[in-house]
C-alpha cells in the first residue's frame, strides 16, 4: 500500500526493539524492574472513580458531549485561582484528550509547511511529532547539563528566533527533571514578545516538584496570556493517565483557533470523563502533596542507590523521571538499555529517543516503590554492568 509522505516524517516506535527483547526474555521466565514508561502506579482516588461511574450510569451522558460543560470550565477556573492564584475565563480554556493529543495537533493550528518551530532538546517526543505533523521544521534549542537543563535564550540565533512560529517550553522537564524559575519565565515572555513567537508551555508536572519547592503555572507571569498558553494535564497529578484529560489554557484567540481545529475532528470529551476531571480537580491538596513526597522518596532511593554502587546520578528537581548519564564504558543509550535489561533485569528508556541531545543518557521513570527501586540498584550492582 502507498501511504502519505507525511508518515515518513515519523521515526519507528522507540520501545519496539526493547519490547521485542523483553518478550523474548519473559518467555524464558525472566521478570523485570520496569522503570521505562511514565504511567503512575498509584491508584486513582476513589472519589474520581465514583464520579465517573455515577455519570456513566446516566443514559443522557452517553451522547456526544459537543463541548466542555460550563461546570467543567468553571472547575478549571476555580482550580487555577486556588492553586496558582491565576484568574482565567471560560474563553481561555479548551479541553483535549491529554497533552499528548493536544501537542500532537497544536502545530496544525499555529504553522504552515516549512515554518520553524523552537523545541527543547532533549524533549518529550510528541513535541517533535506535532511539529512534523504540521510539516514544520524543528529548531532544537539545547537544554544542556551545564546550564541546569534549562534553555539559554541568548544562544538562539536571531534569524531563527525571527522566523519561529511557536516555541515549546516544558518545565518540570521530561526527561531531565529540571524546573523553571520566575526569571526564566519572565525572559521567555519577553523573548516571545520581541520575536512574535507563540509560547506553548507544557505543564505536566506542576505537582511533582521536590525539596519543598512549589510548582506553578506559566500563566502566573505577567504577559503570559498575551503570548501563549499552557497545556495543563490531569494525568500525573491525579493518576488519570488512561482517562486522557488535559486543557489548553491561555490566550483567548489561540484557544478559539485550537477549539476550531478540534471541532473539525471531534465531538467533545465523554461526559463521564468530564465528571471525573471535575472530581480530580477537587482532590485535597494533602493527597497530592503526599504523592509528591512518595515520588521524592523514589527519586532519593534511585539516585542514592545508584550513586552508592558507583554510578553517580544527580538528584533531579522535578517530574517523575531521573535522567542519568551512561556509565563511562558505554556510548549508545539503546545498547546500554538492552544490556541493562539482559544483565540486570532493569528496564529504562534510551536517551536517544528524546531528540538529538538525548544520546549519552537514559531515563528512569519513578514508577516503583522505594524498596523495589533499591532492589533494582542491587540487581544493577550484581550484574557487573557498571564494570563494563
Ligand atoms: C512533558 C510531558 N508532556 C505531556 C505528557 C502527556 O500527558 P497526557 O497524559 O496529558 O497526554 C507527558 C507524559 O508523560 C509528559 O511527560
In SS3 terms, 335-364 reads as: HHHHHHHHHHCEECEEHHHHCHHHCCEEEE
Residues 111 and 253 reside in one and the same domain: yes
Q: Is residue 189 part of a domain?
A: yes
pLDDT tens-place string over residues 86-136: 999 999 999 999 999 999 999 999 999 999 999 999 999 999 999 999 999
Q: Is residue 48 part of a domain?
A: no
The answer to whether the beta carbons of residues 225 and 219 sit under 8 Å apart is: yes
Q: What is the mean pLDDT of the chain?
A: 96
Residues 18 and 117 reside in one and the same domain: no
Residues 232 and 296 reside in one and the same domain: no
pLDDT tens-place string over residues 347-362: 999 999 998 899 999 9
174 lines ligand 1 (CB under 6 A): yes
Average pLDDT over residues 360-377: 98
Q: 283, 318, 353 — which closes off a domain?
A: 283
**142 to 122, 123, 130, 174, 355: CA distances (angstroms):** 7, 10, 19, 14, 10
Given a cut of 70, is residue 18 above it in pLDDT?
yes
Residues 89 and 141 reside in one and the same domain: yes
Q: CA quadruple 169, 172, 174, 177: dihedral positive or negative?
A: positive
Count: domains in the chain: 2
Q: Is residue 133 part of a domain?
A: yes
Distance CA 157, CA 282 (A): 44
The reply to whether the predicted model has a pTM over 0.75 is yes
pLDDT tens-place string over residues 310-360: 999 999 999 999 999 999 999 999 999 999 999 999 999 999 999 889 999
Distance CA 53, CA 71 (A): 18
**43 to 20, 30, 105, 380: CA distances (angstroms):** 28, 26, 29, 28
pLDDT tens-place string over residues 164-198: 999 999 999 999 999 999 999 999 999 999 999 99
**160 to 103, 153, 377: CA distances (angstroms):** 21, 11, 43
Domain around 39? 5-43+286-387
Question: What pLDDT is recorded for position 11?
Answer: 76
Q: Is residue 50 part of a domain?
A: no
Q: CA quadruple 207, 209, 212, 215: dihedral positive or negative?
A: negative
No. of helices (H) and no. of strands (E), the chain: 13, 12
- What is the domain-level CATH number for residue 27? 3.90.1150.10
Residues 278 and 337 reside in one and the same domain: no
Helix (H, G, I), strand (E, B) or coil at 241: helix
Q: Is residue 51 part of a domain?
A: no
Angle at 84 between CA 80 and CA 88, to 5 degrees: 40
Given a cut of 80, is residue 15 above it in pLDDT?
no
Lowest-pLDDT range, 5-19, 43-57, 226-240? 5-19
User: Closest ligand 1 atom, CA of 101?
Assistant: 11
Q: 235, 263, 283 — which closes off a domain?
A: 283
Question: What pLDDT is recorded for position 106?
Answer: 98
Residues 84 and 208 reside in one and the same domain: yes
**Residue in 9, 303, 316 with CA at minimum distance from that of residue 143:** 316
Best probe residue, ligand 1, of 204, 218, 230, 241 (max atoms within 8 Å of C-beta): 204
Residues 92 and 144 reside in one and the same domain: yes
97 lines ligand 1 (CB under 6 A): no
Q: 237, 266, 283 — which closes off a domain?
A: 283
Residues 144 and 273 reside in one and the same domain: yes
Cell, residue 140: 532544537
Residues 149 and 186 reside in one and the same domain: yes
1 C-alpha vs ligand 1 centroid, how far in Å?
32
370 lines ligand 1 (CB under 6 A): no
Of how many residues is the chain composed?
A: 388
User: Closest ligand 1 atom, CA of 245?
Assistant: 10
- What is the domain-level CATH number for residue 195? 3.40.640.10
Neighbours of 367 (CB within 10 A): 21
pLDDT-derived band at 14 (thresholds 50, 70, 90) equals low
Distance CA 68, CA 281 (A): 15
Residue whose C-alpha cell is 538525548: 358
**146 to 135, 143, 178, 271, 360: CA distances (angstroms):** 32, 9, 12, 46, 15
The answer to whether the beta carbons of residues 235 and 88 sit under 8 Å apart is: no
User: Closest ligand 1 atom, CA of 236?
Assistant: 9
Residues 278 and 293 reside in one and the same domain: no
Task: Kindly report whether the peptide bond that precedes residue 356 is cis, defined as omega within 30 degrees of 0.
Answer: no
Q: What percent of the chain shows pLDDT beyond 90?
A: 95
**Residue in 44, 75, 91, 118 with CA at minimum distance from that of residue 288:** 44
C-alpha radius of gyration, the chain, whole number: 21
Distance CA 294, CA 320 (A): 10
Angle at 333 between CA 204 and CA 337, to 5 degrees: 90
pLDDT-derived band at 10 (thresholds 50, 70, 90) equals confident
pLDDT-derived band at 289 (thresholds 50, 70, 90) equals very high
Q: Is residue 52 part of a domain?
A: no
Question: What pLDDT is recorded for position 356?
Answer: 85
Residues 168 and 274 reside in one and the same domain: yes
204 C-alpha vs ligand 1 centroid, how far in Å?
6
Distance CA 218, CA 182 (A): 9
The answer to whether the beta carbons of residues 225 and 251 sit under 8 Å apart is: yes
175 lines ligand 1 (CB under 6 A): no
349 lines ligand 1 (CB under 6 A): no
Neighbours of 242 (CB within 10 A): 11
Q: Is residue 57 part of a domain?
A: no
Residues 200 and 185 reside in one and the same domain: yes
Amino acid at each position: 500500500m502507498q501511504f502519505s509522505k507525511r508518515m515518513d516524517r515519523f521515526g519507528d516506535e522507540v520501545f519496539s526493539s526493547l519490547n521485542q527483547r523483553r518478550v523474548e526474555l519473559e518467555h524464558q521466565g525472566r521478570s523485570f524492574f520496569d522503570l521505562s514508561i511514565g504511567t503512575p502506579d498509584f491508584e486513582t482516588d476513589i472519589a474520581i472513580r465514583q464520579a465517573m461511574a455515577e455519570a456513566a450510569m446516566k443514559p443522557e451522558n452517553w451522547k456526544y458531549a459537543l463541548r466542555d460543560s460550563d461546570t467543567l470550565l468553571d472547575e478549571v477556573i476555580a482550580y487555577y485561582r486556588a492553586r496558582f492564584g491565576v484568574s482565567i475565563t471560560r474563553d481561555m480554556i479548551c479541553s483535549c484528550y491529554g497533552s499528548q493529543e493536544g501537542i500532537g495537533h497544536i502545530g496544525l493550528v499555529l504553522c504552515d509547511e516549512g515554518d520553524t518551530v523552537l523545541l527543547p532538546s532533549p524533549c518529550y517526543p510528541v513535541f517533535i511529532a506535532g511539529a512534523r505533523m504540521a510539516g514544520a521544521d524543528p529548531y532544537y534549542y539545547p537544554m544542556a547539563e551545564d546550564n541546569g537543563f534549562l534553555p539559554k535564550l541568548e544562544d538562539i540565533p536571531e534569524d531563527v528566533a525571527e522566523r519561529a512560529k511557536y516555541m515549546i517550553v516544558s518545565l518540570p522537564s521530561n526527561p531531565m527533571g529540571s524546573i523553571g524559575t520566575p526569571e526564566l519565565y519572565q525572559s521567555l515572555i519577553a523573548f516571545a514578545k520581541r520575536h512574535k513567537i507563540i509560547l506553548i508551555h507544557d505543564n505536566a508536572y506542576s505537582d511533582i516538584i521536590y525539596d519543598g519547592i512549589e510548582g506553578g503555572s506559566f500563566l502566573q507571569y505577567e504577559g503570559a496570556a498575551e503570548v501563549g498558553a499552557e497545556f495543563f494535564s490531569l494525568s500525573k497529578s491525579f493518576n488519570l493517565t488512561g482517562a486522557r484529560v488535559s486543557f489548553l489554557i491561555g490566550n483567548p484567540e489561540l484557544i478559539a483557533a485550537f477549539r476550531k481545529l478540534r471541532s473539525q475532528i471531534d465531538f467533545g470529551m465523554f461526559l463521564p470523563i468530564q465528571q471525573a476531571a471535575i472530581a480530580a480537580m477537587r482532590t485535597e491538596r494533602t493527597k497530592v502533596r503526599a504523592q509528591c513526597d512518595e515520588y521524592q522518596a523514589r527519586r532519593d532511593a534511585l539516585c542514592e542507590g545508584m550513586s552508592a554502587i558507583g554510578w553517580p546520578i544527580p538528584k533531579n528537581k522535578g517530574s517523575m523521571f531521573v535522567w542519568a548519564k551512561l556509565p563511562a564504558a558505554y556510548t549508545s543509550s539503546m545498547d546500554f538499555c538492552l544490556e541493562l535489561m539482559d544483565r540486570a533485569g532493569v528496564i529504562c528508556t534510551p536517551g536517544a529517543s528524546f531528540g538529538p541531545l538525548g544520546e549519552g543518557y537514559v531515563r528512569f521513570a519513578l514508577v516503583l516503590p522505594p524498596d523495589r527501586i533499591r532492589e533494582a540498584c542491587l540487581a544493577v550492582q550484581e550484574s557487573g554492568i557498571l564494570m563494563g
